[in-house]
Structure 1
Amino acid sequence: MKALSTVVLLTISNLFMTFAWYGHLQFKKISWLQGLGLVGVILVSWGLAFFEYVFQVPANRIGFEENGGPFNLFQLKVIQEFISLSVFTLCAVYVFKTDKLGWNHLVGFGLLLAAVYVIFKKW
């Protein structure tokens, strides 16, 4: 249950992170956000990033093995990176609609899956 909770919380966290880091690039498509200057964009992004941390910090605390969770630090980081790139890809392709998924992206994700395997493998 702790593993699932960790993954779910990290996924929600990464949704907020993606919109905090890249969502402002889409403001030109939203009329009432078009006039925001850099300071306004930073404040909106910080507001979103707050919620990223609201989910990310508990995810890592729940998932960390020294707190009774199933993952060590390397495993938590690799999980987070895999989720981060997965959420980003889905947002870029289906929400922002700025990019198309290509074969090179699929190869890259395959390599990420290989990284997850190597990090989790007990040698």
Structure 2
Amino acid sequence: MNPALIWTPILLVLSNIVMTYAWYGHLKQPSWPMWLAILVSWGIAFIEYTLAVPANRIGYGTFTGQQLKVMQEVITLSVFAVFSVMFLGEPLRWTYFAAMGCLVAAVVFIFLPVD
């Protein structure tokens, strides 16, 4: 089996977990000054890049750039759904599921054979 088929999605999921925390984790710290929130987020984002860059380099060739991007977007929305409920305490509304359905449709389309 092609290792890219396994490692690419795993690394993308891990990178999105880290990046979601970098982008939104500071929302639970409203007393932090903006500069601190930015520095902490950038520090966390550095870790995300150490996962995302290898994911894309390993996956490219097995997947097209377009397929990698659409896969990453669906993973991002999935990770954020869990994060928003568990960390931010926000409910998922029907509109979120409708948006996810549109992204899943995008995955189906991007992986259809062109010939």
4+ residue runs over 4 A deviation: none
- Deviation at residue 39 of structure 1 after TM alignment: 1.1
TM-score between the two structures when normalised by the length of structure 2 = 0.92
1:4 and 1:58 map into 2 onto residues whose CA distance is 13
- Paired residues in the alignment total 112
Structure 1, unaligned runs of 5 or more: 29-33
- Deviation at residue 38 of structure 1 after TM alignment: 1.2
2:57 and 2:78 map into 1 onto residues whose CA distance is 22
- Which residue is 2:20 aligned to? 18
Identity %: 46
- Which residue is 1:74 aligned to? 66
- Which residue is 1:121 aligned to? 112
2:14 and 2:87 map into 1 onto residues whose CA distance is 15
- Which residue is 1:31 aligned to? none
- Which residue is 1:56 aligned to? 52
- Deviation at residue 53 of structure 1 after TM alignment: 0.1
- Deviation at residue 95 of structure 1 after TM alignment: 2.1
- Which residue is 2:78 aligned to? 86
TM-score between the two structures when normalised by the length of structure 1 = 0.86
Cα RMSD of the aligned pairs, angstroms, is 1.0
- Which residue is 1:37 aligned to? 33
Structure 2, unaligned runs of 5 or more: none
Query: What is the one-letter code of the residue matched to 1:21?
Result: W
- Deviation at residue 104 of structure 1 after TM alignment: 1.5
Q: 1:61-101 CA distances to partner (integer Å, 9 max, x unpaired)?
A: 00000xxxx1000000000000011101110012221x211
1:2 and 1:15 map into 2 onto residues whose CA distance is 19
- Deviation at residue 37 of structure 1 after TM alignment: 1.2
Q: 1:1-52 CA distances to partner (integer Å, 9 max, x unpaired)?
A: 3122000101110111111111111114xxxxx4x31111111001100011
